[in-house]
């Protein structure tokens, strides 16, 4: 993968325009890999994301005895499924900081059975998993948190699974429900299984991705609003043969925001009106801020339409892409408020605190709440050295502060530890440079 120096200096850019071919979606990539591993048959996966998080999942599946092959230097893979089982009943798995890998794998290993340990980087051991562990242990799984209760590392042993229903909290991470949905067919061998969500379910569009992909692998989920999900008995995952990973909608947000801030047009290819990803709804927020958006089945294009308008909106449904709106708020005509973003606190870093800290370096006035940010743009952006907190989205977001907007000139920005973008978009800064035209 691309290796960057310890920091990157971005010079002010007069305009953003051009076309970007997006890398594959992380959310889709890791879900598809696990579904292919659990399915009957062989699955050809096209345009899998090349990143740290997918490497973590591929390595874990290999350790579990799942055979996969990469086609030359492409991002096309062939996965031979285990038909609901993992050949290796004992493994020590390093999960990095990949929430999309550790949460569903924990559920799958607990249901399939064996003797497994899962651990990751220091931040992973600070990211909650207790609600998922409790839901699984309540139905007979044997999962122990071997460090701090409710957090990885984990030790999983064979349990005695017995249930017709499971309960899981929905207000911390939608990945807990995703994990239970993905393994529900392994539980529902002879009778249906119902999963009940306790409290509000956040990040609903990610659950839609999960259900859509399960359907592609032959399993139907019956949904009663967002409070319960039923998986009928005797369903099993069967390979669809070939599956294509669409472009990453969260990654698209940086380029679409660039077009909205700095002239445009900027077009992203690989995601569009046919997307199964909720983050495509990011464009609704850009439209609300006054940007011009056009869209086709497999592309989206953005252009500026004068000074961006301030926004006050609930971003619970698109928490990752909402970080990009926080950057667009620097170029708005007044204070913007991002609401219902409490899930930022338990991501790769505490993103509410991190965003507030770094936005202030640029001269913004920022009010930080338990689940909201209020951002008042500065009269003039200040050159700044941005800490990235080993968080890929922090690094990518703050590249946008180098852009000239209609009412604001971009600043010189130093991004520390740019290699953290390898989590989802290893060559991000090279691609960003192709659309950002330096100021004279």
Which pLDDT value is given to residue 275?
96
Catalytic site residue 67?
no
The span from the CA of 209 to the CA of 299, in Å, is 19
Closest CA to 23 of 193, 192, 270, 354: 270
**Contacts by 92-95, CB closer than 8 A, 24 or more apart:** 92/63, 92/116, 92/117, 92/119, 93/60, 93/63, 93/64, 93/117, 93/118, 93/119, 94/56, 94/59, 94/60, 94/119, 94/120, 95/56, 95/60, 95/119, 95/120, 95/124, 95/152
Q: Confidence band (pLDDT; 50, 70, 90) for 164?
A: confident
The pLDDT, as a whole number, for residue 7 is 98
Question: pTM of the full predicted structure?
Answer: 0.93
- What is the spatial distance between Cα 387 and Cα 416, in angstroms, rounded to a whole number? 6
DSSP H or E run through 232: none
Return the pLDDT at 309.
98
* pLDDT at 221 (0 to 100): 98
Amino acid 2: pLDDT: 86
Number of alpha carbons in the 13 Å side-chain half-sphere of residue 302:
31
pLDDT in tens, 302-339: 999 999 999 999 999 999 999 999 999 999 999 999 99
Report which DSSP code applies to 10: E
Q: Is 210 exposed, middle or buried (0-12, 13-18, 19+ CB in 10 A)?
A: buried
pLDDT over 70 at 45, yes or no: yes
Question: What domains sit in the chain, N to C, each tagged with a CATH number?
Answer: 7-24+249-438 (3.65.10.10), 26-234 (3.65.10.10)
Residue 271, classed as helix, strand or coil, is coil
Q: Which position has the token pair 């249901």?
A: 111
Statement: residue 439 has pLDDT above 80:
no
Burial 301-314 (b: 16+ CB within 10 A, else e): bbbbbebbebbebe
| Cα torsion angle, 94, 98, 101, 105, sign | positive
- Contact between 47 and 24 (Cβ < 8 Å): yes
**What stretch of H or E contains 122?**
none
The mean pLDDT value for 263-285 works out to: 96
Q: Which two tokens stand for residue 416?
A: 């520390």
Cβ 293 vs Cβ 309: under 8 Å: no
Catalytic one of 248, 320, 391, 404: 320
Report pLDDT digits (tens) over 53-63. 999 999 999 99
Which of 174 and 164 is assigned the larger pLDDT? 174
pLDDT tens column, 67-101:
999 999 899 999 999 999 999 999 999 999 999 99
DSSP string, 152-204: S-EEEE------SEEEEE-SS-HHHHHHHHHHHHHH-SSS-EEEEEESPPP-H
Mean pLDDT, the chain, rounded, equals: 96
The pLDDT of 390-412, averaged and rounded, is 96
Locus of tokens 């050949």 = 87
Label residue 136 by pLDDT band (50, 70, 90): very high
Q: How much is the average pLDDT of 377-391? A: 97
Query: What is the sign of the dihedral through the CA atoms of 203, 205, 207 and 210?
Result: negative
The pLDDT, as a whole number, for residue 440 is 63
pLDDT of residue 213: 98
Q: Where are the beta strands (DSSP E) in 213-262?
A: 222-224, 228-231, 242-244
In the predicted structure, residue 407 carries a pLDDT above the cut 90 = no
DSSP-based three-state secondary structure for 321: helix
Please answer whether residues 85 and 111 qualify as being in contact, where contact means their C-beta atoms are separated by less than 8 angstroms: no
Average pLDDT over residues 268-282: 95
Please report which confidence band the pLDDT of residue 134 belongs to, taking 50, 70 and 90 as the band edges.
very high
How many other C-beta atoms can be found within 10 angstroms of the C-beta atom of residue 273? 11
Element (H, E) at 83: none
pLDDT at 422: 95
Structure-token pair, residue 110: 């607990």
Q: Report the alpha-carbon distance of residue 295 to residue 283 in Å, rounded.
A: 10
How far apart are the C-alpha atoms of 47 and 77, rounded to whole Å? 8
pLDDT > 90 in the chain, percent: 97
Reported as a single tens digit per residue, the pLDDT across 4-16 is: 999 999 999 999 9
* pLDDT exceeds 90 at position 215: yes
């Amino acid at each position: 993968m691309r290796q960057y120096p310890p920091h990157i200096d971005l010079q002010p850019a007069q305009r953003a325009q051009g076309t970007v071919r997006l890398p594959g979606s992380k959310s889709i990539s890791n879900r598809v890999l696990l579904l292919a591993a659990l399915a009957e048959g062989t699955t050809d996966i096209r345009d899998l994301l090349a990143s740290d998080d997918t490497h973590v999942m591929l390595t874990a599946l290999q350790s579990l005895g799942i055979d996969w092959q990469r086609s030359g230097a492409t991002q096309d893979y062939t996965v031979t499924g285990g038909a609901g089982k993992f050949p290796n009943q004992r493994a020590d798995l390093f999960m990095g900081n990949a929430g999309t890998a550790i949460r569903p794998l924990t559920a799958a290993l607990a249901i399939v059975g064996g003797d497994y340990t899962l651990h990751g980087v220091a931040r992973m051991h600070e990211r909650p998993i207790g609600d998922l562990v409790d839901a699984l242990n309540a139905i007979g799984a044997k999962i122990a948190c071997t460090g701090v209760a409710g957090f990885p590392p984990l030790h999983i042993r064979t349990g005695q699974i017995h249930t017709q229903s499971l309960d899981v909290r929905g207000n911390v991470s939608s990945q807990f429900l995703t994990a239970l949905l993905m393994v529900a067919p392994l539980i529902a061998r002879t009778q249906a299984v119902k999963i009940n969500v306790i409290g509000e379910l956040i990040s609903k569009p990610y659950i839609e991705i999960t259900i859509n992909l399960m359907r592609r692998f032959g399993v139907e989920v019956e949904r009663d609003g967002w409070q319960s999900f039923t998986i009928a008995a005797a369903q099993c995952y069967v390979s669809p043969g070939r599956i294509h990973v669409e472009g990453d909608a969260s990654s698209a947000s940086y380029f679409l925001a660039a077009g909205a801030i700095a002239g445009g047009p900027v077009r992203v290819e690989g995601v569009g009106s046919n997307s199964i990803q909720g983050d495509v709804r990011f464009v609704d927020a850009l439209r609300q801020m006054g940007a011009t958006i056009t869209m086709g089945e497999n592309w989206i294009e953005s252009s500026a339409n004068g000074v961006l308008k301030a926004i006050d909106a609930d971003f619970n449904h698109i928490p990752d892409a909402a970080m990009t709106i926080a950057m667009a708020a620097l170029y708005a005509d007044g204070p913007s408020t991002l609401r219902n973003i409490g899930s930022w606190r338990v991501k790769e870093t505490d993103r509410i605190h991190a965003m507030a800290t770094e936005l202030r370096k640029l001269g913004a006035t920022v009010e930080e709440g338990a689940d909201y940010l209020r951002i008042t743009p500065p009269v003039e952006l200040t050159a700044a050295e941005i800490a990235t907190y080993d968080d890929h989205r922090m690094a990518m977001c703050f590249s946008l502060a180098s852009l000239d907007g209609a009412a604001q000139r971009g600043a010189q920005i130093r991004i520390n530890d740019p290699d953290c973008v390898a989590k989802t978009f290893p060559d991000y800064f090279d691609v960003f440079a192709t659309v950002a035209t330096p100021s004279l």
